[in-house]
Amino acid sequence: MASSLLSELMRILLCAFVLSVHSPFEKKVHVHGAEITVPVSSLSPSANCTASTTNVNSTLKLVHKYGARSQLFDGGPINHTQVLLEDMARVKWIQSKISNSISGISDLESAVNLPASYGPSSSSYVVTIGLGTPTKDLTLLFDTGSALTWTQCEPCIVSCYSQAEPIFDPSRSSSYANISCSAPSCLNLPSGTAQQPNCSDSTCVYNSTYGDQSFSSGFFATETLTLTPTDVITNFEFGCGEDNEGTFNGFAGLLGLGRDPVSFLEQSATQYGQYFSYCLPPLSSCTGYLTFGRGTVTSPSLNFTPMVTIGQSSLFYGINITGISVGGNPLSIPLTVFSNAGAIIDSGNTFTHLPPTAYAALRSAFQQAMANYTSAPPFSQLDTCYDFSGVSTITVPVITFSFSGPINVDLDASGMFFWVSASQVCLAFAPNIADTSVSIYGNIQQRTFEVVYDVPGGQIGFGAQGCS
């Protein structure tokens, strides 16, 4: 009897060992889910990971632009300073648009001198779509904060930036057609581009300006857009850019998923009902997905929070943050700190930007919980960093965001940190210039969740472990 019990015990221990070896992202939950233990190696961008297993219709493979960059450009390691510059400049662009819609004044615009050439061009993730007949594959930055979809087109009458894939040539597509200046869609362009269209021989010319040095200009046209062999959108209205400048990282253009009549979301409403979701993978080297339509949601359980409008701009997807907890303990942050300026969820911003009052409370609680780990120097605006070199596992407090609904979202370990090196791993949050600036819920914090945008239902959903 004793020998059989011993054998059973050995079998259980062996199974536990095998699971620990083959599940590098497995979390060990401690007291009331207040903290989690993960291997340090699981936070490294070079860690091995499994591609998303989602296999439903209307689904595109989604990758980080620097992960894709190695495939398209034979690029080297991630330039972490570039990531930070792009994030800060995108915050400037978003704050400017939202602040202008509220009061005409941007706190960030006046307080920070950053390159204005980023904006949507600093969006973080890319997808590949087909355009034209016959179809030509194009890799586009996808952006929930932009409306117009555009790509570079031949001939580049003025200039085009360097692009990895062949530039789209409309003269070789049988389904391409220009849109006239009198067409309703041309007249409605300012809502999606913030610029009045021009005319060239009665043909609508769009101008989309994202900053002092970043823009796209060309013909507003219709074309056949292909997501998958069974998902084809005819007469899709897009920008065929023949004069383009900016830091678009060598990708072909932009896929706009904001709330605007010119966006892909609105144009595909008949097929997909203004409903889409994505899962951002835990690491930049991994694969996630972007999928369209209500029947494509894969998460076993979703929790929804209302979708709101911030200021006068309906382009961005607003959410109501009601609180933050660290290690199961709610932070003492007045609700007005979040409600006064509001918040948006954004696919393009890398980090979550909080009101200074909220950020200070989060930083203090996190530093206290991580007091046993060696601190590392700050990395630009990321001021809470740790040296995990020589450490195999770390135990970190769970960071929980509370949204109206009410719902609570426990961040994945990959959603808390920005990896510079093993000796410099930083808390992936930053403070805004002032409490009056809108908060931005960034894409690092969205990692591993299926994030669902139900525009007709006016809600945004979060489903844990959404990439599997």
> Could you tell me if 61 and 127 are in contact, meaning their C-beta atoms sit under 8 angstroms apart?
yes
pLDDT for residue 276: 96
Whether 431 maps to a domain, the answer reads yes
CA dihedral sign of residues 140, 145, 149, 153: negative
pLDDT at 99: 72
Q: What is d(CA 117, CA 82) in angstroms, rounded to the nearest whole number? A: 13
Asked whether residue 32 is assigned to any structural domain, the reply reads: no
The verdict on residue 49 lying in a domain is no
| pLDDT above 60 for 118 | no
Tokens of 372: 């046993």
Mark whether 273 and 308 lie in a shared domain.
Answer: no
Quote the distance between the C-alpha of residue 268 and its chain's center: 21
Range with lowest mean pLDDT among 19-28, 60-69, 172-181, 423-432: 19-28
State yes or no: pLDDT of 61 exceeds 70. yes
pLDDT digits (tens, 9 = 90+) for 430-462: 999 999 999 999 999 999 999 999 999 999 999
Q: Which of 247, 267, 291 is the last residue of a domain?
A: 291
Q: How far apart are CA 397 and CA 323, in angstroms?
A: 16
Residues 353 and 287 in one domain: no
CATH of the domain at 455: 2.40.70.10
- Whether residue 279 is found in the same domain as residue 372: no
* Residue in the block written with tokens 């903290």: 35
- Distance, in Å, from the CA atom of 111 to the CA atom of 308, rounded to the nearest integer, reads 27
**190: enclosing H helix or E strand:** helix 190-193
Are residues 197 and 65 both part of a single domain? yes
> Does residue 107 form part of some domain?
yes
- 85 and 232 fall within a common domain: yes
Active site residue 387: no
* Cis peptide leading into residue 306 (ω within 30°): no
The tokens of 331 are what? 């932070």
Rounded CA separation 180/203 (Å): 4
Domain end point (choices 291, 314, 346): 291
Residue 307 has pLDDT above 50, yes or no: yes
84 torsion bin: left (phi>0), alpha (psi -120 to 50), beta (else): alpha
Residues 391/358, Cβ–Cβ less than 8 Å: no
In whole angstroms, what is the distance from residue 342 CA to residue 17 CA? 46
In a domain, 6, yes or no: no
Print the domain residue range for 186. 59-291
Amino acid at 277: S
412 catalytic, yes or no?
Answer: no
What pLDDT does residue 50 have?
62
Of 107, 143, 260, 435, the active-site residue reads 143
C-alpha–C-alpha distance, residues 403 and 411, integer Å: 13
Same domain, 313 and 359: yes
With tokens 């869609």, the residue in question is 185
Q: Are residues 249 and 389 in the same domain?
A: no
Last residue of a domain, one of 227, 262, 291: 291
Q: Let me know whether 185 and 315 are in one domain.
A: no
Q: pLDDT tens-digit profile of 193-224?
A: 777 888 988 999 999 877 546 789 999 999 99
Band the pLDDT of 49: cuts 50, 70, 90. Answer: low
Domain for residue 385, yes or no? yes
Six token digits for residue 232: 């084809």
Q: How far apart are CA 153 and CA 253, in angstroms?
A: 10
Neighbouring C-beta atoms of residue 380, cutoff 10 Å: 15
* pLDDT at 65 (0 to 100): 86
Return the structure tokens found at 184.
Answer: 């309703």
3-state secondary structure of 256: strand
Rounded to an integer, what distance in angstroms lies between the CA atom of residue 157 and that of residue 416? Answer: 45
Residue 382 to residue 395: CA distance in whole angstroms: 20
CB contact set of 258 (below 8 Å; sequence gap of 6+):
143, 144, 145, 146, 147, 192, 265, 315, 316, 317
3 found inside a domain: no
Residue 162 within a domain: yes
Which of 79 and 374 is assigned the larger pLDDT? 374
**Overall average pLDDT of the 392-406 stretch:** 97
Residue 253 sits in the same domain as residue 386? no
- Helix H or strand E segment including 270: helix 269-272
Greatest distance between any 2 Cα atoms in the chain = 93
Mean pLDDT of 131-156: 95
Counted domains in the chain: 2
3-state helix, strand, coil in the chain (%, to 5): 25, 35, 40
Tokens coding 275: 């409903």
Domain co-membership, 347 together with 270:
no
The predicted model gives 141-151 an average pLDDT of: 93
Q: Active-site residue among 346, 412, 435, 454? A: 346
Q: Among 6-20, 37-51, 437-451, whose mean pLDDT is lowest?
A: 6-20
Phi, psi torsion values for 72, nearest 5 degrees: -90, -30
User: Which residue has tokens 């200039």?
Assistant: 159
Nearest to 464 by CA among 114, 29, 66: 29
Q: What is the DSSP string of 59-99?
A: EEEEEEHHHHHHHHH---S--HHHHHHHHHHHHHHHHHHHH
Tell me the two tokens of residue 174.
């049988």
Top mean pLDDT of 12-26, 144-158, 166-180, 288-302 is at 166-180
Same domain, 190 and 241: yes
Residue 276 shares a structural domain with residue 415: no
Tell me, what DSSP letter sits at residue 51? Answer: P
